[in-house]
Structure 1
Amino acid sequence: MTVSRLRDIPGINVDKMGNAADAIGDPDMLRLENLDTDIAPPPAAVAATLAAVTRDAANSYLPFLGIHELRRAAAARVSADTGVTFDPESQCIVSAGGLSGVLNALLAVLEPGDEVIITDPAYAGLLNRIRLAGGVPRLVPLVVRDGGWRLDLDALAAARGPRTRAILTMSPSMPSGIVHSREEWQAICDLAVAADAWLIHDAAMERILYSDQPMLHPLHFDGMAQRTITVGSVSKEYRMIGWRVGWILGPAGIINDIGLVSLSNVVCQVGIAMPGAAAALTSADDGIQGAVAAWRGRRDLILRELADLPVIRPDGGWSLLIDTVALDLAPTRASELLLERGGIAATPMTGWGEAACAGRYLRFVFANEPEARLTGIRERVRRAWAL
């Protein structure tokens, strides 16, 4: 019998698609189902990790909340990006990846039945962590305007209720790739203040932007320093997925509580991975600018080739969505046909929001396939869907 905390937690489908693609074993298949990337991590991060393997200090539980070098680097990074100064010892801890940090933050702020406002579509893993922590997701739909995504501000305002305890944000968001405008951020921050709610910001992709607009963070807005919890990681921007290292910053009181959750959960982080993460954050050659240019080129190629199909433009991040329902194809069927006839592995967004919103879409991840392999994707889609 399934325990109650798992009854409303479906899978994320990515694992099933990955297993199906692996079982076929076709090297020509486009692997668009999972958030991986083929672009290498910063060389300094790799060198620091290799050196750490040989050091006894890296083979330790201590310090439980993360090595001081990494906490200083993460605090300095977020302080420089936001203009809000963070003390690395009292306002920053290290997590075993960004999603572990999000779960620990949710466990530290939610009582059972508290509501968490989040956009739709949203990563199913975030929705499931809200539920696992005893919270209730309150979904705010994204809408399509001028070929891209925008936040429904009226629906955002209507989502506030007496049990609103937190707002969980991500910009660029996954899977949509929405990058919140200043107006949207202002509305989100105003709601957080009005509801006296925490704002938990997943900053994993905040510099993966495909426009000339500056990066915006909730800490850029008045009144947010005392209620914002920032969760970052090296997985996306620094291309260090396998390291499983993230960080959490916020007011000292709540960071202390999140630290207690962390000690009761994963206990400590990956000792041999943290020096590499610190090196990435402090490297003069982190490779982010070049990686973003490469990812943008891949996005642009897919947008050009599929311009006659209902593809929604992402303004950041690693993935884009296509509205297969508009083509009279359920996303699950569209995914099956792509796998069987088109040589493309792609994940349907079932469970990534409401059926009327996220449930319309199939996701293409473009971060792990170079332009040379993506070229001709329109013919693969035509062959699979008879379009």
Structure 2
Amino acid sequence: MALSDRLELVNPSEIRKLFDLAQGVEGLISLGIGEPDFDTPEHIKEYAKEALDRGMTHYGPNAGLPMLREAIARKLKEQNGVEADPKSEIMVTVGANQAFIMGLAAFLREGEEVLIPSPMFVSYAPAVILAGGKPVEVPTYEENEFRLSVDDLKKHVSEKTRALIINSPNNPTGAVLTRKDVEEIADFAVEHDLMVFSDEVYEHFVYDGARNYSIASLDGMFERTITVNGFSKTFAMTGWRLGFVAAPAWIIEKMTRFQMYNATCPVTFAQYAAAKALDDPRSWKAVEEMRREYDRRRNLVWKRLNEMGLPTVKPKGAFYIFSRVRDTGLTDKEFSELMLKEAKVAVVPGSAFGKAGEGYIRISYATAYEKLEEAMDRMEKVLREKKLV
């Protein structure tokens, strides 16, 4: 099947549709977009200016600047327990999102299946389709805090299954896999000879004693794992479009070839700034300050949603909360449209994240505390007036 045919199978993001609908709504409070409301720390911006002053405005290597790959290797070893050769097992991408289609294209054959825990990040299934594969949704459940279990995976694996995507901390649910979860998933992957994509872009935003466990750090797992991460969420650098991948050399070689004929290379001066940021203690101080503020917001939103009659699991990671709305008698899309029109609050219907998300909404608490308070007040007022709770 030609790529043009596959593009016909991929629908525009439901989140983008919501944003289009929200355009022009005066006084809108948006809890939809998954983007830090913090600005990039000043010292990182200064590093970018320094790079520009040094004339770093030319093409760089397809796989990324050596200085950045080396800094990433140090970070992976110190923070994740993952040993990766910066010359052959790490590459820099134009945002983390790009890594999925490039990584899948490195090994996936026509019609092979990829298991994806659902609710899921909106880019996963389209990436599988564009790479020629078939996405297979594996439902996760509120009763298990939306954490993926091997029992769920066993129900959906087949002879055609080639890979598995895990995302912890999770977008959209905020679920965080425990070490036991990760170990069991690793055993499952080995048993069925699967490649594993581990999306860890929210790794530093964890709460209540939870932590991120990198599956590539487990014995024998690096050779079958593509670890995807980036700078957008960690350092509030979404517009800088910088991600990175750690994977076996044969995967990186093929992904680099893809990038060679796609984006050529990531932005050179942005890479310099990211490399310097990784080794600067001020960066990690800023991350911890963001994490603490997200935690404060999380507690507010979770408490208010439950108080207004919307049952909500308390998330242990990321900056999203996934609330059950089907008890109101409305579908998740109807609920979202009601909140947009009556409360002037934008939330995302859970069905945008797969079938398992139907009947839920995703709220991003990456916005100011005062705005979140007002948004909760508005939502509760509409629910009471409509007698939906």
Q: TM-score range by the shorter chain?
A: over 0.9
Structure 2 contact 176–210 (Cα < 8 Å) conserved: no
Measured after TM superposition, the shift of residue 264 of structure 1 is 2.2
Measured after TM superposition, the shift of residue 166 of structure 1 is 1.1
Distance in 2 (alpha carbons) for counterparts of 1:101 and 1:351: 21
* Paired position in structure 1 for 2:249: 252
Distance in 1 (alpha carbons) for counterparts of 2:299 and 2:382: 22
* Paired position in structure 1 for 2:160: 163
Which has the higher mean CA deviation after the structures are superposed, 192-201 or 75-84? 75-84
Distance in 1 (alpha carbons) for counterparts of 2:324 and 2:82: 40
Structure 2 contact 163–194 (Cα < 8 Å) conserved: yes
Distance in 1 (alpha carbons) for counterparts of 2:140 and 2:177: 11
Encode CA deviations 1:122-163: one digit per residue, 9 max, x unaligned.
0111221111111111211111127x3332432212222111
Encode CA deviations 1:302-356: one digit per residue, 9 max, x unaligned.
11111131223211001111222222111111111111111201111334212xx
* Paired position in structure 2 for 1:32: 31
Distance in 2 (alpha carbons) for counterparts of 1:155 and 1:77: 32
Measured after TM superposition, the shift of residue 75 of structure 1 is 1.3
Are 2:276 and 1:279 equivalent residues in the alignment?
Answer: yes
Amino acid at match of 2:325: T
* Paired position in structure 2 for 1:297: 296
Distance in 1 (alpha carbons) for counterparts of 2:13 and 2:236: 22
Encode CA deviations 1:266-295: one digit per residue, 9 max, x unaligned.
211112311121122111111111111101
Within the candidate set 214, 217, 221, 1:220 is matched to 217
TM-score of the superposed pair, with normalisation by structure 2: 0.93
Distance in 2 (alpha carbons) for counterparts of 1:332 and 1:177: 20
* Paired position in structure 1 for 2:97: 99
Structure 2 contact 320–364 (Cα < 8 Å) conserved: yes
Instruction: Specify the SS of the correspondent of 1:219.
Output: helix
Distance in 2 (alpha carbons) for counterparts of 1:152 and 1:89: 35
Are 2:144 and 1:143 equivalent residues in the alignment?
Answer: no
Within the candidate set 261, 283, 291, 1:264 is matched to 261
Amino acid at match of 1:49: A
Q: CA RMSD in A?
A: 1.7
Aligned residues: 379
TM-score of the superposed pair, with normalisation by structure 1: 0.93
* Paired position in structure 1 for 2:111: 113
Give structure 1 stretches of 5+ with no counterpart. Answer: none
Distance in 1 (alpha carbons) for counterparts of 2:99 and 2:18: 26
Measured after TM superposition, the shift of residue 379 of structure 1 is 2.7
Encode CA deviations 1:234-253: one digit per residue, 9 max, x unaligned.
00111110000011111112
Encode CA deviations 1:166-214: one digit per residue, 9 max, x unaligned.
1111100101111011222122111111121111111111121012133
* Paired position in structure 1 for 2:314: 313
Amino acid at match of 2:347: A
Amino acid at match of 1:176: T
Measured after TM superposition, the shift of residue 262 of structure 1 is 1.4
- Seen in structure 2, the aligned counterparts of structure 1 residues 53 and 19 have a Cα distance that, compared at 3 Å, is farther
Instruction: Specify the SS of the correspondent of 1:279.
Output: helix
1:352-363, aligned counterparts within 5 Å? 352-354=353-355, 357-363=356-362
Are 2:10 and 1:9 equivalent residues in the alignment?
Answer: yes
Distance in 1 (alpha carbons) for counterparts of 2:256 and 2:61: 12
Which has the higher mean CA deviation after the structures are superposed, 137-146 or 240-249? 137-146
* Paired position in structure 2 for 1:365: 364
Instruction: Specify the SS of the correspondent of 1:166.
Output: strand
Distance in 2 (alpha carbons) for counterparts of 1:15 and 1:359: 18
Distance in 1 (alpha carbons) for counterparts of 2:341 and 2:29: 12
Distance in 1 (alpha carbons) for counterparts of 2:132 and 2:327: 35
Structure 1 contact 53–272 (Cα < 8 Å) conserved: yes
Distance in 1 (alpha carbons) for counterparts of 2:353 and 2:69: 32
Encode CA deviations 1:8-34: one digit per residue, 9 max, x unaligned.
3222222222233332242xx221111
Following superposition, which runs of at least 4 residues in structure 1 exceed 4 angstroms of deviation? none
Amino acid at match of 1:240: M
Question: In percent, how many aligned pairs have the same letter?
Answer: 28
Instruction: Specify the SS of the correspondent of 2:361.
Output: strand
Amino acid at match of 1:163: K
Distance in 2 (alpha carbons) for counterparts of 1:272 and 1:83: 28
Distance in 2 (alpha carbons) for counterparts of 1:13 and 1:211: 31
1:169-184, aligned counterparts within 5 Å? 169-184=166-181
Structure 1 contact 10–351 (Cα < 8 Å) conserved: no
Structure 1 contact 311–321 (Cα < 8 Å) conserved: yes
Structure 1 contact 122–352 (Cα < 8 Å) conserved: yes
Structure 1 contact 172–209 (Cα < 8 Å) conserved: yes
* Paired position in structure 2 for 1:335: 336
Structure 1 contact 232–247 (Cα < 8 Å) conserved: yes
* Paired position in structure 1 for 2:238: 241
